[in-house]
A and B are shown apart, each in its own frame.
Chain A
Amino acid sequence: MSMQFKAFILLILFSTLGCSADKKMNYKTKKVFNINYELDDTKLKLSYKPFMATLYYSPGVDIIENDNELIIIIRKCDYDEKCEVGIKSTSELDPELGIINNITINLKKSFIASQIFINEPNKENSLKVLSGT
């Protein structure tokens, strides 16, 4: 099959899949690995490794901060797009884990790990459970 034909097919495929920069995507919780955190009264440092994909990456997170809970949404972006996110992540190359994402969230009020959730506020998604602490 010629390269040009493949490229044409791929163009159609991407347009039908609706991969575009204006549609916000996020990683399902089960697709986020190696979650670790450091938490104090004013700051949350979070590291995570999203499901690795050549055509996607995580540019960072958006947060929803309520009275009793903090919800962190791990954003997903097409590999070559610069998606807008509330808090941008930085990358770090860990000798064991490979590339991981780091974010720092400045907290308006203090939370404990069981009040912080990834994507959805339920017990299984709490930072305490997901990080295994």
Chain B
Amino acid sequence: MSELSLMEQLNRTRKNHILNDKTVTLGVHSNSSSDNAPFVDGHAWISVTKHRKTKFYGLWPDDHGMTKDNGKGSDIRVGLEGTMLANASRYYKLSSIQALKLDQGLKRVVTWRYTNTCASWASELLHEITGVDIDADDWAGFETPRELGKHILALEKSKGPTSKRSPAQPALRGSSL
């Protein structure tokens, strides 16, 4: 009986610890990262970890065979990517103000176009929130998952590896952040 009570106490403590964990981690991911990867293949997306739960967000066209057309609604779609399939990832710990800006950014109506791809969106959102510029510009200025992936891997090598549990801390920009 006392053992059960101890287990219950431990579980409550753990739950409280998770609820009190205000850390928000933004991940940027690509499943394409080599020069040999095709120009038009692959996907880039972001992940947001709050209270130790991770959600995935990606920009997908309405007329994609795998998505539901939501008309004029945002092309930011939640949960399609799942875990384990990125081969290039980098993580950033967000301040509370950056986390708020991210929430606002994810509520925006964004439209996928050839000139505003999944890689454009992931790269630009990361830059807007953290000031970190991970270039996705490929041939003729198109932003592609392979180029974003290459630059993520280059940063992981030059600045040190990151993970969900050990994210990089982006330098705070001026008072606007």
Interface residues of A, Cβ cutoff 8 Å to B: 1, 3, 6-7, 9-10, 13-14, 17, 19, 33, 49, 51-57, 59, 77, 79-82, 91, 93-99
Contacts and interface: CB of A to CB of B under 8 A. Distances in A.
Given A17-B40, A57-B65, A57-B66, A96 B83 contact: yes
> A77, A93, A95, A99: which has the most chain B beta carbons within 10 Å?
A99
Chain B contact patch, size range: 20 to 34
Interface in B61-98: 61, 63-66, 79-85
A88 B141 CA distance: 36
Contacts of A55: 40-41
Interface of B: 31, 39-43, 56, 58-61, 63-66, 79-85, 112, 114-115, 117-118, 140-142, 145
A79 B13 CA distance: 47
A97 to B, nearest CB: 4
Given A3-B115, A52-B31, A33 B85 contact: yes
Contacts of A7: 114-115
Given A6-B114, A93-B80, A96-B82, 13 more contacts: A6-B142, A9-B142, A13-B40, A17-B40, A51-B42, A52-B42, A52-B85, A54-B59, A55-B40, A79-B64, A91-B66, A97-B84, A98-B80
A82 B65 contact: yes
A54 B60 contact: yes
B24 to A, nearest CB: 20
Given A53-B42, A54-B117, A99-B80, A9 B140 contact: yes
Contacts of A77: 65
Contacts of A95: 79
Given A1-B140, A6-B115, A98-B80, A59 B31 contact: no
